[in-house]
Amino acid sequence: MANNRKYFGTDGIRGEVGSYPITPDFVMKLGWAAGQVLAEQGNSRVLIGKDTRVSGYMFESSLEAGLSAAGVDSMLLGPMPTPGVAYLTRTFRAQAGIVISASHNPYHDNGIKFFSAEGRKLADDIEIAIEDMIDQPMKVAPSNKLGKAHRVRDPEGRYIEFCKSTFGIGANLNGLKIVVDCANGATYKIAPDVFKELGAEVITIGSSPDGFNINEECGATSPEELQSVVVSQGADLGIALDGDGDRLIMVDHHGDILDGDELLFIIARERQRARGMNGAVVGTLMSNLGLEHAVRTLGLDFKRANVGDRYIMEMLHENDWTLGGESSGHIICLDMTTTGDGIVSALQVLDAMVRSGQSLNTLKSGMSKYPQTLVNVKLSQQVNVMELESVKNAVKEVEAELGKTGRVLLRPSGTEPLVRVMVEGQDGAQVKKLANELAEAVKGAISALAA
Protein backbone atom coordinates (compact mmCIF):
# COMPACT_ATOMS: atom_id res chain seq x y z
CA MET A 1 0.00 0.00 0.00
CA ALA A 2 2.80 2.43 0.86
CA ASN A 3 4.33 1.96 -2.59
CA ASN A 4 1.32 3.56 -4.29
CA ARG A 5 1.80 6.88 -2.55
CA LYS A 6 3.04 10.05 -4.09
CA TYR A 7 6.14 10.52 -1.92
CA PHE A 8 6.51 7.84 0.77
CA GLY A 9 7.99 4.47 -0.14
CA THR A 10 8.39 1.45 2.11
CA ASP A 11 11.15 3.23 4.04
CA GLY A 12 10.39 6.94 3.94
CA ILE A 13 11.29 9.24 1.07
CA ARG A 14 14.61 8.63 -0.69
CA GLY A 15 16.43 9.75 -3.84
CA GLU A 16 19.34 11.66 -5.32
CA VAL A 17 20.20 14.94 -3.65
CA GLY A 18 19.09 17.88 -5.77
CA SER A 19 16.53 15.83 -7.72
CA TYR A 20 12.91 16.26 -6.66
CA PRO A 21 11.79 15.49 -4.02
CA ILE A 22 15.21 15.38 -2.28
CA THR A 23 15.61 19.16 -2.44
CA PRO A 24 15.83 21.71 0.38
CA ASP A 25 12.56 23.42 -0.56
CA PHE A 26 10.61 20.15 -0.62
CA VAL A 27 12.16 18.96 2.66
CA MET A 28 11.21 22.26 4.32
CA LYS A 29 7.63 21.78 3.10
CA LEU A 30 7.75 18.19 4.34
CA GLY A 31 8.87 19.40 7.77
CA TRP A 32 6.02 21.91 7.84
CA ALA A 33 3.47 19.31 6.71
CA ALA A 34 4.68 16.77 9.26
CA GLY A 35 4.59 19.46 11.94
CA GLN A 36 1.02 20.37 11.07
CA VAL A 37 -0.14 16.76 11.23
CA LEU A 38 1.90 15.70 14.26
CA ALA A 39 0.90 18.75 16.32
CA GLU A 40 -2.65 17.47 16.12
CA GLN A 41 -1.57 14.13 17.61
CA GLY A 42 -0.12 15.46 20.87
CA ASN A 43 2.87 17.52 22.04
CA SER A 44 4.77 19.58 19.48
CA ARG A 45 8.30 18.21 19.89
CA VAL A 46 10.21 16.28 17.22
CA LEU A 47 13.71 14.74 17.31
CA ILE A 48 15.97 15.03 14.25
CA GLY A 49 18.97 12.76 13.68
CA LYS A 50 21.13 12.22 10.61
CA ASP A 51 23.94 10.15 9.21
CA THR A 52 27.26 11.58 7.98
CA ARG A 53 26.37 12.65 4.42
CA VAL A 54 27.41 16.19 3.56
CA SER A 55 23.82 16.97 2.52
CA GLY A 56 22.63 16.19 6.03
CA TYR A 57 23.48 19.73 7.18
CA MET A 58 21.26 21.21 4.48
CA PHE A 59 18.31 18.96 5.14
CA GLU A 60 18.59 19.30 8.91
CA SER A 61 18.23 23.07 8.49
CA SER A 62 15.34 22.61 6.05
CA LEU A 63 13.42 20.35 8.42
CA GLU A 64 14.11 22.66 11.33
CA ALA A 65 12.73 25.63 9.36
CA GLY A 66 9.62 23.75 8.26
CA LEU A 67 8.86 22.43 11.73
CA SER A 68 9.38 25.88 13.24
CA ALA A 69 6.95 27.39 10.72
CA ALA A 70 4.38 24.82 11.86
CA GLY A 71 4.94 25.77 15.51
CA VAL A 72 6.83 22.58 16.38
CA ASP A 73 10.08 22.42 18.38
CA SER A 74 13.10 20.53 16.98
CA MET A 75 15.48 18.57 19.18
CA LEU A 76 18.70 18.08 17.22
CA LEU A 77 20.71 14.91 17.80
CA GLY A 78 23.43 15.35 15.17
CA PRO A 79 24.88 12.12 13.72
CA MET A 80 22.84 9.29 15.20
CA PRO A 81 22.03 5.76 13.98
CA THR A 82 18.47 5.27 12.78
CA PRO A 83 17.63 2.89 15.65
CA GLY A 84 19.15 5.41 18.07
CA VAL A 85 16.66 8.03 16.87
CA ALA A 86 13.84 5.52 17.39
CA TYR A 87 15.03 4.82 20.96
CA LEU A 88 15.51 8.48 21.91
CA THR A 89 12.12 9.42 20.45
CA ARG A 90 10.56 7.05 22.97
CA THR A 91 12.65 8.13 25.94
CA PHE A 92 12.13 11.86 25.30
CA ARG A 93 8.37 11.28 24.90
CA ALA A 94 8.63 13.20 21.64
CA GLN A 95 5.76 13.23 19.17
CA ALA A 96 8.00 11.84 16.42
CA GLY A 97 11.57 11.21 15.33
CA ILE A 98 12.98 12.08 11.92
CA VAL A 99 16.07 10.48 10.39
CA ILE A 100 17.98 12.11 7.52
CA SER A 101 19.63 9.14 5.81
CA ALA A 102 19.71 7.01 2.67
CA SER A 103 20.88 4.00 4.70
CA HIS A 104 23.31 1.86 2.64
CA ASN A 105 23.17 4.11 -0.47
CA PRO A 106 26.16 6.25 -1.60
CA TYR A 107 26.64 9.81 -0.35
CA HIS A 108 24.93 11.53 -3.29
CA ASP A 109 21.60 10.02 -2.20
CA ASN A 110 19.67 11.01 0.89
CA GLY A 111 16.28 10.48 2.41
CA ILE A 112 13.86 11.29 5.19
CA LYS A 113 12.15 8.71 7.37
CA PHE A 114 9.92 9.07 10.39
CA PHE A 115 9.31 7.28 13.67
CA SER A 116 6.17 7.54 15.78
CA ALA A 117 6.17 8.44 19.47
CA GLU A 118 6.51 4.69 20.19
CA GLY A 119 9.68 4.45 18.09
CA ARG A 120 7.94 2.60 15.27
CA LYS A 121 7.40 3.48 11.62
CA LEU A 122 4.55 5.93 11.16
CA ALA A 123 1.06 4.51 10.79
CA ASP A 124 -0.30 4.51 7.24
CA ASP A 125 -2.97 7.11 8.02
CA ILE A 126 -0.36 9.53 9.40
CA GLU A 127 1.85 9.19 6.30
CA ILE A 128 -1.19 9.78 4.08
CA ALA A 129 -2.18 12.85 6.13
CA ILE A 130 1.35 14.27 5.73
CA GLU A 131 1.23 13.71 1.97
CA ASP A 132 -2.12 15.48 1.77
CA MET A 133 -0.76 18.40 3.80
CA ILE A 134 2.31 18.76 1.52
CA ASP A 135 -0.06 19.73 -1.29
CA GLN A 136 -1.64 22.52 0.79
CA PRO A 137 -0.40 26.15 0.82
CA MET A 138 2.22 26.69 3.53
CA LYS A 139 0.95 28.91 6.35
CA VAL A 140 3.47 30.13 8.91
CA ALA A 141 2.48 30.10 12.57
CA PRO A 142 2.29 33.50 14.35
CA SER A 143 5.68 34.68 15.62
CA ASN A 144 4.76 33.96 19.23
CA LYS A 145 3.90 30.37 18.26
CA LEU A 146 6.96 29.49 16.14
CA GLY A 147 8.89 26.38 17.08
CA LYS A 148 12.36 26.51 18.64
CA ALA A 149 15.42 24.34 18.07
CA HIS A 150 17.48 22.70 20.83
CA ARG A 151 20.64 20.59 20.78
CA VAL A 152 20.22 17.42 22.82
CA ARG A 153 23.00 16.88 25.34
CA ASP A 154 25.05 13.69 24.97
CA PRO A 155 22.64 11.70 22.78
CA GLU A 156 25.47 9.27 21.98
CA GLY A 157 25.99 8.41 25.64
CA ARG A 158 22.28 7.82 26.19
CA TYR A 159 22.09 5.43 23.25
CA ILE A 160 25.33 3.64 24.18
CA GLU A 161 23.89 2.84 27.61
CA PHE A 162 20.70 1.51 26.03
CA CYS A 163 22.65 -0.78 23.68
CA LYS A 164 24.71 -2.15 26.56
CA SER A 165 21.52 -2.84 28.53
CA THR A 166 20.44 -5.39 25.89
CA PHE A 167 23.50 -7.55 26.55
CA GLY A 168 23.33 -10.32 29.14
CA ILE A 169 23.23 -8.97 32.70
CA GLY A 170 26.60 -9.45 34.35
CA ALA A 171 28.11 -10.76 31.13
CA ASN A 172 31.09 -9.16 29.42
CA LEU A 173 33.21 -9.38 26.29
CA ASN A 174 36.52 -9.72 28.12
CA GLY A 175 39.12 -11.58 26.06
CA LEU A 176 37.39 -11.02 22.71
CA LYS A 177 39.17 -9.14 19.94
CA ILE A 178 36.64 -7.52 17.62
CA VAL A 179 37.03 -5.49 14.43
CA VAL A 180 34.18 -3.00 13.97
CA ASP A 181 33.44 -1.41 10.58
CA CYS A 182 31.23 1.67 10.97
CA ALA A 183 30.84 2.31 7.19
CA ASN A 184 32.00 5.91 7.79
CA GLY A 185 28.44 6.42 8.90
CA ALA A 186 26.23 7.29 11.83
CA THR A 187 27.63 4.67 14.23
CA TYR A 188 31.23 5.92 14.10
CA LYS A 189 31.11 7.59 17.53
CA ILE A 190 28.93 4.94 19.14
CA ALA A 191 29.53 1.34 18.05
CA PRO A 192 33.22 1.08 19.05
CA ASP A 193 32.46 2.43 22.53
CA VAL A 194 29.61 -0.04 23.10
CA PHE A 195 31.89 -3.04 22.57
CA LYS A 196 34.85 -1.46 24.39
CA GLU A 197 32.77 -0.63 27.46
CA LEU A 198 31.59 -4.24 27.59
CA GLY A 199 35.22 -5.38 27.78
CA ALA A 200 36.26 -6.24 24.23
CA GLU A 201 39.50 -5.23 22.55
CA VAL A 202 38.23 -3.21 19.57
CA ILE A 203 39.93 -2.38 16.28
CA THR A 204 37.88 0.20 14.38
CA ILE A 205 37.73 0.78 10.62
CA GLY A 206 35.37 2.90 8.55
CA SER A 207 35.21 5.48 11.32
CA SER A 208 36.56 8.62 9.60
CA PRO A 209 33.56 10.15 7.82
CA ASP A 210 34.18 13.16 5.59
CA GLY A 211 30.66 13.62 4.22
CA PHE A 212 31.43 11.71 1.03
CA ASN A 213 32.84 8.29 2.01
CA ILE A 214 29.78 6.81 3.73
CA ASN A 215 29.32 3.17 2.59
CA GLU A 216 32.22 3.59 0.15
CA GLU A 217 34.00 0.21 -0.08
CA CYS A 218 33.24 -0.39 3.58
CA GLY A 219 30.45 -1.42 5.91
CA ALA A 220 27.81 -4.14 5.61
CA THR A 221 27.49 -3.79 1.83
CA SER A 222 31.27 -4.04 1.19
CA PRO A 223 32.84 -6.16 3.94
CA GLU A 224 36.02 -7.13 2.05
CA GLU A 225 38.32 -4.88 4.10
CA LEU A 226 36.74 -6.15 7.31
CA GLN A 227 37.41 -9.74 6.25
CA SER A 228 41.04 -8.89 5.56
CA VAL A 229 41.61 -7.02 8.84
CA VAL A 230 39.96 -9.74 10.95
CA VAL A 231 42.38 -12.33 9.53
CA SER A 232 45.50 -10.13 9.56
CA GLN A 233 44.89 -8.97 13.14
CA GLY A 234 43.99 -12.43 14.42
CA ALA A 235 40.64 -11.13 15.66
CA ASP A 236 37.85 -13.35 16.97
CA LEU A 237 35.26 -11.75 14.72
CA GLY A 238 34.26 -8.68 12.75
CA ILE A 239 31.12 -6.55 12.84
CA ALA A 240 30.03 -4.52 9.80
CA LEU A 241 27.25 -1.95 10.05
CA ASP A 242 25.79 0.15 7.26
CA GLY A 243 25.63 3.94 6.97
CA ASP A 244 22.67 4.42 9.30
CA GLY A 245 23.36 1.49 11.62
CA ASP A 246 20.27 -0.66 11.12
CA ARG A 247 21.97 -3.39 9.07
CA LEU A 248 24.48 -5.98 10.30
CA ILE A 249 26.88 -8.42 8.67
CA MET A 250 29.45 -10.36 10.71
CA VAL A 251 32.73 -12.10 9.88
CA ASP A 252 34.14 -15.12 11.74
CA HIS A 253 37.81 -15.59 12.68
CA HIS A 254 38.49 -17.28 9.33
CA GLY A 255 37.26 -14.18 7.49
CA ASP A 256 34.06 -15.89 6.32
CA ILE A 257 30.91 -13.77 6.10
CA LEU A 258 27.76 -14.49 8.10
CA ASP A 259 24.74 -12.85 6.48
CA GLY A 260 21.43 -11.92 8.09
CA ASP A 261 19.99 -15.43 7.67
CA GLU A 262 22.83 -17.05 9.60
CA LEU A 263 22.78 -14.36 12.31
CA LEU A 264 19.01 -14.67 12.67
CA PHE A 265 19.37 -18.43 13.16
CA ILE A 266 22.03 -17.98 15.86
CA ILE A 267 19.83 -15.50 17.75
CA ALA A 268 16.73 -17.70 17.41
CA ARG A 269 18.56 -20.78 18.68
CA GLU A 270 19.92 -18.92 21.72
CA ARG A 271 16.47 -17.46 22.51
CA GLN A 272 14.91 -20.91 22.25
CA ARG A 273 17.64 -22.53 24.34
CA ALA A 274 17.68 -19.89 27.08
CA ARG A 275 13.98 -19.25 27.62
CA GLY A 276 11.89 -20.63 24.80
CA MET A 277 10.37 -18.47 22.09
CA ASN A 278 6.74 -17.65 21.52
CA GLY A 279 5.50 -17.84 17.96
CA ALA A 280 7.39 -17.95 14.70
CA VAL A 281 10.62 -16.53 13.34
CA VAL A 282 9.84 -14.22 10.41
CA GLY A 283 11.98 -14.03 7.29
CA THR A 284 11.16 -12.85 3.77
CA LEU A 285 10.48 -14.40 0.39
CA MET A 286 14.26 -14.17 -0.22
CA SER A 287 15.37 -15.84 3.03
CA ASN A 288 17.46 -18.94 2.39
CA LEU A 289 15.63 -22.26 2.52
CA GLY A 290 18.41 -23.51 4.78
CA LEU A 291 17.30 -20.96 7.40
CA GLU A 292 13.71 -22.18 7.23
CA HIS A 293 14.75 -25.82 7.70
CA ALA A 294 17.21 -24.97 10.50
CA VAL A 295 14.60 -22.93 12.39
CA ARG A 296 12.11 -25.77 12.14
CA THR A 297 14.67 -28.17 13.64
CA LEU A 298 14.60 -25.91 16.72
CA GLY A 299 10.91 -26.66 17.12
CA LEU A 300 9.98 -23.20 15.88
CA ASP A 301 7.76 -22.16 13.01
CA PHE A 302 9.10 -20.02 10.15
CA LYS A 303 7.01 -17.51 8.21
CA ARG A 304 7.86 -15.43 5.14
CA ALA A 305 6.87 -11.79 4.68
CA ASN A 306 7.30 -9.69 1.54
CA VAL A 307 10.82 -8.31 1.02
CA GLY A 308 11.42 -5.25 3.23
CA ASP A 309 11.79 -4.80 6.97
CA ARG A 310 8.47 -2.89 7.02
CA TYR A 311 6.62 -6.09 6.09
CA ILE A 312 8.56 -8.18 8.61
CA MET A 313 7.62 -5.65 11.28
CA GLU A 314 3.95 -5.77 10.29
CA MET A 315 3.86 -9.57 10.55
CA LEU A 316 5.62 -9.51 13.94
CA HIS A 317 3.22 -6.92 15.36
CA GLU A 318 0.11 -8.60 13.95
CA ASN A 319 1.01 -11.89 15.65
CA ASP A 320 2.77 -10.58 18.77
CA TRP A 321 6.01 -12.29 17.74
CA THR A 322 9.47 -10.93 18.55
CA LEU A 323 12.14 -12.02 16.05
CA GLY A 324 12.60 -11.57 12.31
CA GLY A 325 15.07 -10.43 9.70
CA GLU A 326 16.36 -10.27 6.15
CA SER A 327 19.40 -11.93 4.62
CA SER A 328 20.70 -8.40 3.88
CA GLY A 329 21.27 -7.96 7.61
CA HIS A 330 18.18 -6.13 8.87
CA ILE A 331 17.40 -8.05 12.07
CA ILE A 332 14.52 -7.10 14.35
CA CYS A 333 14.52 -8.12 18.02
CA LEU A 334 11.23 -6.72 19.30
CA ASP A 335 11.90 -8.10 22.77
CA MET A 336 14.80 -5.61 22.92
CA THR A 337 13.81 -2.59 20.83
CA THR A 338 11.22 -1.27 18.38
CA THR A 339 13.11 -1.40 15.09
CA GLY A 340 16.00 -3.09 13.30
CA ASP A 341 19.25 -2.27 15.14
CA GLY A 342 22.68 -3.43 13.95
CA ILE A 343 24.47 -2.89 17.26
CA VAL A 344 21.76 -4.54 19.36
CA SER A 345 21.59 -7.48 16.94
CA ALA A 346 25.38 -7.91 17.11
CA LEU A 347 25.16 -7.98 20.90
CA GLN A 348 22.58 -10.78 20.75
CA VAL A 349 24.97 -12.86 18.62
CA LEU A 350 27.85 -12.06 20.98
CA ASP A 351 25.66 -13.08 23.91
CA ALA A 352 25.22 -16.49 22.28
CA MET A 353 29.00 -16.74 21.84
CA VAL A 354 29.70 -15.84 25.45
CA ARG A 355 27.05 -18.14 26.92
CA SER A 356 28.07 -21.11 24.78
CA GLY A 357 31.82 -20.50 24.82
CA GLN A 358 31.81 -21.25 21.10
CA SER A 359 33.29 -19.31 18.20
CA LEU A 360 31.13 -17.59 15.62
CA ASN A 361 32.28 -20.18 13.09
CA THR A 362 31.03 -23.02 15.28
CA LEU A 363 27.73 -21.30 16.05
CA LYS A 364 26.88 -20.89 12.37
CA SER A 365 27.49 -24.58 11.68
CA GLY A 366 24.00 -25.41 12.91
CA MET A 367 22.59 -24.03 9.66
CA SER A 368 23.51 -25.03 6.12
CA LYS A 369 22.73 -22.45 3.46
CA TYR A 370 21.26 -23.85 0.29
CA PRO A 371 22.80 -22.79 -3.04
CA GLN A 372 20.71 -20.02 -4.55
CA THR A 373 20.85 -18.57 -8.07
CA LEU A 374 19.19 -15.27 -8.97
CA VAL A 375 18.74 -14.22 -12.61
CA ASN A 376 17.33 -10.82 -13.59
CA VAL A 377 15.13 -10.78 -16.70
CA LYS A 378 14.41 -7.39 -18.28
CA LEU A 379 10.79 -6.57 -19.04
CA SER A 380 10.09 -4.82 -22.34
CA GLN A 381 6.51 -4.17 -21.22
CA GLN A 382 4.49 -4.15 -18.00
CA VAL A 383 3.26 -7.69 -17.48
CA ASN A 384 2.67 -10.05 -14.58
CA VAL A 385 4.74 -12.97 -15.84
CA MET A 386 3.22 -15.34 -13.28
CA GLU A 387 -0.11 -15.02 -15.07
CA LEU A 388 1.37 -16.35 -18.32
CA GLU A 389 0.48 -20.00 -18.90
CA SER A 390 3.88 -20.95 -20.36
CA VAL A 391 5.64 -19.47 -17.31
CA LYS A 392 3.31 -21.29 -14.92
CA ASN A 393 4.10 -24.57 -16.65
CA ALA A 394 7.86 -23.89 -16.59
CA VAL A 395 7.70 -23.14 -12.86
CA LYS A 396 5.78 -26.38 -12.20
CA GLU A 397 8.42 -28.37 -14.08
CA VAL A 398 11.27 -26.83 -12.06
CA GLU A 399 9.42 -27.35 -8.79
CA ALA A 400 8.77 -30.98 -9.70
CA GLU A 401 12.48 -31.55 -10.39
CA LEU A 402 13.52 -29.90 -7.12
CA GLY A 403 10.94 -31.69 -4.99
CA LYS A 404 10.69 -30.71 -1.33
CA THR A 405 14.38 -29.80 -1.12
CA GLY A 406 14.12 -26.63 -3.20
CA ARG A 407 11.92 -23.72 -4.17
CA VAL A 408 11.27 -21.24 -6.95
CA LEU A 409 10.44 -17.55 -6.68
CA LEU A 410 9.58 -15.07 -9.42
CA ARG A 411 9.46 -11.54 -8.06
CA PRO A 412 9.11 -8.22 -9.90
CA SER A 413 11.64 -5.55 -8.95
CA GLY A 414 10.15 -2.62 -7.08
CA THR A 415 12.55 -0.13 -8.69
CA GLU A 416 13.46 -1.44 -12.16
CA PRO A 417 11.65 -3.04 -15.16
CA LEU A 418 12.88 -6.49 -14.14
CA VAL A 419 11.55 -9.79 -12.91
CA ARG A 420 13.88 -11.64 -10.57
CA VAL A 421 14.02 -15.40 -11.14
CA MET A 422 15.31 -17.24 -8.08
CA VAL A 423 15.89 -20.97 -7.72
CA GLU A 424 17.16 -22.60 -4.55
CA GLY A 425 18.02 -26.20 -3.70
CA GLN A 426 20.59 -28.60 -2.29
CA ASP A 427 22.57 -29.17 -5.51
CA GLY A 428 24.31 -25.97 -6.66
CA ALA A 429 24.89 -27.13 -10.25
CA GLN A 430 21.26 -28.20 -10.61
CA VAL A 431 20.03 -24.92 -9.12
CA LYS A 432 22.09 -22.85 -11.55
CA LYS A 433 20.93 -24.92 -14.54
CA LEU A 434 17.26 -24.69 -13.57
CA ALA A 435 17.45 -20.95 -12.85
CA ASN A 436 18.91 -20.26 -16.28
CA GLU A 437 16.35 -22.52 -17.96
CA LEU A 438 13.49 -20.82 -16.15
CA ALA A 439 14.88 -17.36 -17.01
CA GLU A 440 14.97 -18.39 -20.67
CA ALA A 441 11.37 -19.57 -20.43
CA VAL A 442 10.37 -16.18 -18.99
CA LYS A 443 12.25 -14.36 -21.76
CA GLY A 444 10.52 -16.52 -24.36
CA ALA A 445 7.10 -15.82 -22.90
CA ILE A 446 7.76 -12.07 -22.91
CA SER A 447 9.02 -12.18 -26.51
CA ALA A 448 5.93 -14.11 -27.57
CA LEU A 449 3.74 -11.39 -26.07
CA ALA A 450 5.59 -8.68 -27.98
CA ALA A 451 5.39 -10.55 -31.30
Whole-number pLDDT of residue 42: 57
Position 226 scores a pLDDT of 98
Does the N-terminal peptide bond of residue 21 adopt cis geometry, omega within 30 degrees of 0? yes
Question: Which has the closest alpha carbon to 346: 173, 230, 157, 114?
Answer: 173
User: Which CATH architecture best describes the domain 264-366?
Assistant: 3-Layer(aba) Sandwich (3.40)
**pLDDT by residue, tens only, the chain of 451 residues:** 445 678 998 889 999 999 999 999 999 999 999 999 987 765 679 999 999 999 999 999 999 999 999 999 999 999 999 999 999 999 999 999 999 999 999 999 999 999 999 999 998 899 999 999 999 999 999 999 999 999 999 999 999 999 999 998 889 999 999 999 999 999 999 999 999 999 999 999 999 999 999 999 999 999 999 999 999 999 999 999 999 999 999 999 999 999 999 999 999 999 999 989 989 999 999 999 999 999 999 999 999 999 889 899 999 999 999 999 999 999 999 999 999 999 999 999 999 999 999 999 999 999 999 999 999 999 877 788 888 999 999 999 999 999 988 999 998 876 678 999 999 999 999 999 999 999 999 999 988 887 6
How far apart, in Å, are the Cα atoms of 196 and each of 2, 174, 176, 191? 40, 9, 10, 9
- In the chain, residues under CATH classification 3.40.120.10 are 2-153, 172-257, 264-366
Q: Which DSSP string corresponds to 159-191? A: HHHHHHHTSPTT---TT-EEEEE-TTSTTTTTH
Residue length of the chain: 451
Beta partners for residue 282, in sequence order: 303, 324
| Pairing mode of beta strands 109-116, 149-151 | unpaired
What are the E-state strand segments in 193-295?
A: 201-205, 237-241, 248-252, 257-258, 281-284
According to CATH, the topology of domain 172-257 is Alpha-D-Glucose-1,6-Bisphosphate; Chain A, domain 3 (3.40.120)
Choosing from 55, 103, 222, 328, the catalytic residue is 103
DSSP 121: B
Q: Please provide residue 72's backbone torsions phi and psi, each rounded to the nearest 5 degrees.
A: -115, 135
> What are the φ and ψ backbone dihedral angles of 98, each rounded to 5 degrees?
-125, 135
List Cα–Cα distances, 173 to 44, 177, 226, 350, in angstroms.
41, 9, 20, 8
The CA distances from residue 306 to 168, 287, 372, 412, 420, in Å, are 32, 10, 18, 12, 14
How many other β-carbons are positioned within 10 Å of the β-carbon of residue 170? 5
- A 10 A CB-CB count for 17 gives 19
Which candidate, 395, 403, 448, places its Cα nearest to that of 421?
395
What is the per-residue pLDDT for 41?
Answer: 63
**Identity at 93, one-letter amino acid code:** R
Q: How far is CA 201 from CA 1, 82, 183, 197, in A?
A: 46, 25, 19, 10
CB 442 within 8 A of CB 389: no
Instruction: Measure the CA–CA gap between 439 and 377, rounded to whole angstroms.
Output: 7
Cβ-Cβ contacts under 8 Å for 229 (sequence gap 6 or more): 179, 203, 205, 235, 238
CATH of segment(s) 372-450: 3.30.310.50
What pLDDT sits at residue 251?
A: 98
Annotation says 103 is catalytic: yes
Distance between CA atoms of 431 and 448, rounded to whole angstroms? 26
End-to-end CA distance of the chain: 33
pTM of the model: 0.94
Locate CATH 3.30.310.50 in the chain.
372-450
Q: Report in angstroms the alpha-carbon separations of 264 from 92, 115, 146, 294, 306.
A: 30, 24, 46, 11, 17
Strands 418-424 and 302-305: unpaired
CATH class of 2-153: alpha beta
